[in-house]
């Protein structure tokens, strides 16, 4: 079953047919979501009533388009804010972790490394509820002890950021570590021989070298945060990120404005993916 082994023509065409079917299966949902963003109908379903751009630019209900739909625009803003916070935090901690695990030696290093990987194998919903429970415990303790109501520890954006950060950091650490491992240590030593301090050498030699990995990790972190649902669902307060707003709309049933949002998301994440792929190319 490799090209050098002769196979019957029937087998080959069945195999190729199967692969085609598979890719149709992969593409179908994305294609219909995009196509129905342009259907001139109040529901994202057949029949096809002709082409319209109302679901992007329409400004009167019920034909309100994406760019005039305040709640959706606001939740996109919320998502961007959360994603930027998560990206900054996780790239920073991820970089520290990479230096810690690749450069230092200390007792229980292996145990800590495994603990660092654990967030990836804990279901997102459970990460969410455990952080919800713990922050509630602290908030209640603070209130009982000194009578403050610490609003920040109640469900809301602060907790959403912490919840997403709790597992995205692992991914950032893995991406950045992989590049740091390939770094030639003699470059840093050379800088230090030329009179640079350790920190100076790291800042001028090692960090620029790590930059593609840090940007790559940042892109992945941004995307994972933007698209996260499970963890966010348990921690969200009154300001809902986009995924939560879309979920509520989906359950109620909505106009094709949701398709327009989805298409917009696909384009944005497609561009991020493209940037990421190009960065990978450049690295090699």
Partner 1 sequence: MTGHNHFRLGLVLLMAPLLIWLLSLIFIPHIDMLFLSLSEKVAPRVYETGLSNYAAFFNEPLYWNTFARTAVMSILATFLTLLIGFPVSYYIAKMVRGRVRAFLFIMCMIPFWVSELVRTFGWMILLRETGVISSFLVFTGLSEGPVELLYNDVTIMVGLVYTSMLFMVVPLVTTLDSLDDSLVEAGYDLGGNGLRVLRKVIIPHAMPGIVSGCIVVFMLSLGNYLTPVLLGGKDSMWFTEQIYTQFITRFNWEQGAAFGFLLLILSSLIVWGGLKITRQTLSNTMG
Q: 54 to 73, contacts with partner 1 by CB under 8 A?
A: none
Query: Do residues 91 and 165 make contact, with C-beta atoms less than 8 angstroms apart?
Result: no
Minimum separation from the CB atom of position 174 to partner 1 (A): 6
Q: How far is CA 236 from the centre of its chain?
A: 17
- For residues 162 and 201, which CB has a smaller minimum distance to partner 1 in the complex? 162
Those residues with Cβ within 8 angstroms of residue 63's Cβ, 6 or more apart along the chain or in another chain: 42, 54, 55, 255
Residues 142-161 that bind partner 1 (CB under 8 A): none
Q: Is 46 among the residues that bind partner 1 (CB under 8 A)?
A: yes
Q: Is residue 139 involved in binding partner 1 (CB under 8 A)?
A: no
- Exactly one of 187, 207, 270, 275 binds partner 1 (CB under 8 A); which one? 270
Q: What are the b/e assignments for 101-138, b being 16+ CB within 10 Å?
A: beeeeeeeeeeeeeebeebeeeebeebbbebbeebeee
Cβ proximity to partner 1: between 31 and 59 the closer is: 31
Q: What is the C-alpha to C-alpha distance for residues 192 and 200, in angstroms, rounded to an integer?
A: 8
Q: In angstroms, what is the minimal distance from the CB of 204 to partner 1?
A: 18
Residue carrying structure tokens 């933007």 = 226
Is the Cβ of residue 124 or residue 216 nearer to partner 1 in the bound state?
Answer: 124
Among 17, 71, 77, 123, binds partner 1 (CB under 8 A): 123
Specify the stretch interacting with partner 1 by CB under 8 A; choose among 19-27, 63-71, 141-149, 188-196.
Answer: 19-27
Q: Which of residues 99-118 bind partner 1 (CB under 8 A)?
A: 99-100, 104, 106, 110, 112-118
- Say whether residue 257 binds partner 1 (CB under 8 A): no
Q: According to the binding rule CB under 8 A, does residue 255 interact with partner 1?
A: no
Q: At what angle do helices 242-252 and 257-283 cross, to 10 degrees?
A: 140
Please give the structure tokens belonging to residue 253.
């049933």
Number of chain residues interacting with partner 1 (CB under 8 A): 89
Q: Does 4 bind partner 1 (CB under 8 A)?
A: yes
Residue found under tokens 């294609």: 31
Cβ-count burial 155-188 (b if 16+ within 10 Å, e if not): bbbbbbbbbbbbbbbbbbbbbbbebbeeeeeeeb
* Residue 38 makes contact with partner 1 by CB under 8 A: no
Residue 258 binds partner 1 (CB under 8 A) = yes
The least distance separating partner 1 from the CB of residue 106, rounded to whole angstroms, comes to 6
């Amino acid at each position: 079953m490799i090209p050098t082994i002769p196979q019957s023509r029937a087998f080959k065409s069945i195999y190729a047919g199967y692969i085609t079917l598979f890719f149709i299966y992969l593409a179908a949902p994305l294609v219909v979501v995009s196509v129905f963003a342009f259907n001139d109908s109040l529901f994202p379903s057949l029949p096809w009533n002709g082409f319209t751009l109302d679901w992007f630019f329409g400004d009167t209900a019920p034909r309100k388009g994406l760019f005039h739909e305040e709640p959706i625009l606001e939740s996109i803003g919320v998502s961007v804010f959360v994603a930027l916070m998560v990206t900054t935090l996780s790239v920073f901690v991820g970089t520290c972790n990479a230096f810690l695990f690749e450069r230092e030696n200390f007792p229980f290093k292996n145990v800590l490394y495994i603990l660092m990987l654990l967030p990836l194998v804990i279901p997102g919903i459970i990460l969410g509820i455990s952080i919800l429970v713990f922050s509630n415990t602290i908030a209640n303790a603070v209130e009982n002890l000194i009578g403050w109501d610490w609003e920040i520890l109640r469900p809301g954006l602060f907790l959403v950021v912490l919840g997403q950060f709790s597992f995205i950091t692992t991914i950032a650490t893995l991406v950045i570590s992989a590049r740091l491992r390939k770094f030639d240590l003699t470059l840093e030593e050379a800088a230090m021989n030329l009179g640079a301090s350790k920190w100076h050498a790291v800042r001028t030699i090692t960090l620029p070298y790590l930059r593609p990995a840090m940007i790559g990790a940042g892109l992945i972190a941004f995307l994972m945060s933007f698209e996260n649902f499970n963890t966010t669902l348990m921690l969200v307060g009154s300001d809902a990120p986009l995924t939560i707003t879309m979920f509520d709309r989906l359950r109620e049933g909505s106009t094709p404005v949701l398709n327009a949002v989805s298409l917009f998301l696909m384009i944005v994440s497609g561009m991020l993916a493209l940037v990421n792929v190009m960065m990978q190319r450049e690295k090699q």
